[in-house]
A and B are shown apart, each in its own frame.
Chain A
Amino acid sequence: MTVIIFSALLIFTNTLQAFLPKFLKSSESFGVFIPDTQVNDERIIGMKKSYTKMLLITGNALIGGFIFWSLLTNPKEEHTVFVGLALLFILLFISMWFYARNHVTLIKLKKEERWGAGQKERKVVDLQFREQLKLLPNIYFLMPILVNIGLWIYGLSQYDILPNQIPTHWGLNGEVDAFSDKTWLSVSALPLMVLIIQSMLLFFNALMKQSGAKIQVRSKKRSREQQLAFRKYSSWLLFLVLITITLLMGYLQLTIIHGELFSSSYTMFATLAFVLVIFGATMFYTFKVGQSGSRLEMVQLDEPIDGVIDIDDDRHWKFGLFYVNKEDPSLMVEKRFGVGWTMNFGHVGSWIFLVVLIGSIVLISIIL
């Protein structure tokens, strides 16, 4: 069972990673800004293809070895988990290695051949972007938070009738496999963790409104529409994650208080439903929407223009992965190699956010 779950997980992450360049804008390849004049360069297309091929070959060979090893030696469950996790990191490392090689090669090519020379670099801003941006209002995000706080208070109000051992961990089969002694804190642990995640999601939604729009100079109308849609879907995805987490964790909170009403098969079913919904939504987000909404079909077409390209912002992207720009007031920015969002590490706010987030999670785990 463990082998099957791990193999599925490994194959899935590796395949997604391998095909990632397919879901990205052509104006950014392997974390390098590609001027419009160069987006159809055969060599870049070749690099993407070979990246996909190399990752699929090495990844599937390793996963095959993993399955073969477990069939042959029938290892203990904890050994399977350990090797499976190690393999996840190895696969991640391999993809990073191929990424880095392509990243360096592209930077060199771009510099040697002076891509974009003779073109005027322009930055485009749409003055009405924020007015047209339709994110879900933050107030929507407050409602699930209130539900969670309600369940928290309810749990505390039932303190006297709770069993002396409070469940703190559930296995894959839905059975509780770890307990803590009953204290006010251990009864609060789950709602508190949920509250941290909920606040984080709310915070992201608020930050997205302030995040700078990246409108492309050669396709102003199209890129604006795609950006608006991408942000709208991002906001919906955040809300969906918020709702499903609140439901699943609220359910678990209820099983803690009224253990007799629920069975472990309900828990397993609830967890499975949760995983499937999140999985489906993420797939839709990646395949249908794509990076900056680049996979959304747009009817509105821009008149072709020559002589201008977007501003090369490579200097703000360390290794093409980490955005560091002290000038930019955005805290959240769109990922460069991936579909989603990352933080502006040149902004002190990002660091405060990370310290508070990690600090509070560590604090809760220490106290428990």
Chain B
Amino acid sequence: MFIEIEADSTVPIYLQLAQQVIEGVAKGELKPGDSLPSVRAFAADLGMNMHTVNKAYHYLEEKEFIQIVSKKGVFIHERSVREATEKDTDRLKKELRPMISEALCLNLSTDELQALLNDIVRDIKEGTR
């Protein structure tokens, strides 16, 4: 699976990395147990600092999307696709809040928001971006 990083984006690079890995899992392109490149190899491919990759991996590990097994490598977490726990839902709620606020400022109705949501879900599943 290819990951594409935009250099001039306002989204930090580590977040771009992490978000694309999560999208890969959502699409099913990355399956539980699949291995990811080592921090060094990933950073070399990017031509960027290892710190950036480390940050992305820790972000993903915290959300239980990947598992870092020392000396063995980095793997997509067995529980990367799971029933949301209370903790997961709380976190999503918190992270969605600023987006929803922005939508409310733009006078989007709940229906319009719902349509937007359906659009995005379809996009992810059908593999377009």
Contact = CB atoms under 8 A, between A and B. Distances in A.
Interface of A is mostly: mixed
Interface residues of B, number: 26
Interface in B8-58: 8, 21, 24, 30, 35-38, 40-50
B8 A125 contact: no
A129 B41 CA distance: 10
B41 A127 contact: no
Interface string A213-224: 101010010000
A122 interface: yes
Contacts of A220: 2
Contacts of A128: 1
B111 interface: no
Contacts of B102: none
Given A120-B8, A121-B8, A122-B7, A329 B44 contact: yes
Contact of B5 (A122, A130, A212, A316): A122
A327 B7 contact: no
Main SS at interface, chain B = mixed
B2 A125 contact: yes
A164 interface: no
Contacts of A313: 47
A128 B37 CA distance: 7
Nearest to A313: B47
Contact of B4 (A123, A209, A328): A123
A116 to B, nearest CB: 12
Contacts of B30: 127
Interface string B74-117: 00000000000000000000000000000000000000000000
Contacts of A328: 43-44, 47-48
A211 interface: yes
Contacts of A212: 41, 43-47
Contacts of B46: 123, 125, 212
B5 A125 contact: yes
A123 B45 CA distance: 9
Contacts of B41: 129-130, 209-210, 212
A124 B3 CA distance: 6
Interface of A: 120-131, 209-213, 215, 217, 220, 311, 313, 316, 325, 327-330
Interface of B: 1-8, 21, 24, 30, 35-38, 40-50
